Structures are given as C-alpha cells and as structure tokens.
Amino acid sequence: MKHQYDLFEKFPDGSSLWRACVIGLQATLSQMSDLAQRSQNQFYALHIKSGKLISLKLQQGAFNASQKIGRRSRIATA
C-alpha cells in the first residue's frame, strides 16, 4: 500500500503553502526535488494519517525523515 503525502512550500517568513498531493514515498521525494529546483524556499511533505514529516535538506544534499509530529491541544493553538 502506498501512502499519500501533502507537499508544502515553507517561506522565509515561516508561512507554508500547500503545493501538491502525491502518492508513494519515492514519488513524493521526486516531486519535492523538482519543486526545489524552481524555488529557493524549503519544502516538506506530511503524511496526514501518521503525522510523519519529511523535509528536503538541500544544504546537505539528502532527505530527512523526522519523527512523528505531535498534535496540538486547543490551548496550545489558541
């Protein structure tokens, strides 16, 4: 089963913009790499169901798959 990832572009001011929805990890990494060639901004992918975050580290020339991100409580987002 291939997972579905949402791709985002992160801007210098800290804001993010959704760019695409991609199926499969390899396709996600490829799409992020293609997007990064056209922009100086950072890119990351999020697997919504698990919370797994994958970021593209251009400075190191490698992909970084981080740990599952936590969910915020209502108090933390208020």
Question: Domain range spanning residue 14?
Answer: 4-77
CA-based nearest residue to 29, from 59, 1, 3: 3
The pLDDT of residue 56: 76
| CA 19 – CA 60 distance, rounded (Å) | 23
pLDDT, tens digit (0-9, with 9 covering 90-100), for 10-50: 999 999 999 999 999 999 999 999 999 999 999 999 998 99
Q: CA separation (Å) from 33 to 29, 45, 50, 71, 73?
A: 6, 11, 22, 27, 33
Which phi and psi (to 5°) does residue 30 adopt? Answer: -65, -45
Handedness of CA 7, 11, 12, 13 (dihedral sign): negative
Domain count, the chain: 1
Tell whether pTM > 0.85. no
